[in-house]
Amino acid sequence: MTLQFTVAIDGPAAAGKGTIARGLAERFGFAHLDTGLLYRAVARRTIDGTPAAIAAATLRLRDISRTDLRTPSVSEAASKVAANPEVRAALVAFQRDFATRDGGAVLDGRDIGTVIFPEAQVKLFVTASAEVRAHRRWLELTNAGHDVTEESVLADVMARDKRDSEREAAPLRPAEDAETFDTSDLSIEVALERANAIVAARLEQEK
């Protein structure tokens, strides 16, 4: 029997979306797409000299599997190319196709529940205060060997939040029917348990 079941997870950087998305994918055997990687891969190609719209229209699997997509300079460039409507339009079909793949899919990003796949059976909006998110991102970057201060990471997080939420094309915002998880005071593990329960209940209804 085929299963078409989609979980859309949106929210700002370092709120815990990725951990929740990976956890759900593992628990339910769904495929997972971190859509931020698409924008990061486009940004990486613009840094190498390819115009953004062309980079998005000709994106290949090998561009998204690069290991240098998580640096602060690529994060900033990704947030900038993500405001370009031509870039966003070029990436819609791939994401929608992924969302409907057989066996279930989890996509995390900024506009999955609002623009890419509003039909998703489960929509989560994962957020946390800018300070908590900056602290998490600073720990990640420091552990990966980057020499950055927590203040500079907070400034970057706030600048990205502003750009991602104020842009005209698919701004970051919760879908009206999304379940919001604020992970400022909630551990990501507890948030994942709640998400597991929501998905399990919704899957039960599909039977």
Which residues of the shown chain bind ligand DC in the complex (CB under 6 A)? 13, 35-36, 39-40, 75, 78-79, 82, 109-111, 160, 164
* 106 torsion bin: left (phi>0), alpha (psi -120 to 50), beta (else): beta
Nearer to ligand DC, 3 or 182 (CB): 182
Q: Minimum distance from CB of 173 to ligand DC (Å)?
A: 12
Q: Minimum distance from CB of 135 to ligand DC (Å)?
A: 16
Nearer to ligand DC, 97 or 201 (CB): 97
Nearer to ligand DC, 133 or 192 (CB): 133
Q: Minimum distance from CB of 2 to ligand DC (Å)?
A: 26
Tokens representing 15? 């709120």
Q: Minimum distance from CB of 39 to ligand DC (Å)?
A: 3
Q: Minimum distance from CB of 111 to ligand DC (Å)?
A: 5
Which are the contacts of 99, defined by CB distance < 8 A and separation ≥ 6? 6, 8, 105, 107, 112, 116, 117, 120
Nearer to ligand DC, 135 or 203 (CB): 135
CA distance 20 to 9: 8
Nearer to ligand DC, 21 or 192 (CB): 21
Which of helix, strand or coil describes residue 108?
strand
Exposure of 13 by Cβ count < 10 A (0-12 exposed, 13-18 middle, 19+ buried)?
buried
Residue type, 170: A
Buried b (16+ CB within 10 A) or exposed e, 27-40: ebebebbbbbbbbb
Nearer to ligand DC, 16 or 104 (CB): 16
Query: Strand order in 31-34's β-sheet?
Result: 31-34, 105-109, 6-10, 122-127, 179-182
CA distance 35 to 82: 11
Q: Minimum distance from CB of 129 to ligand DC (Å)?
A: 17
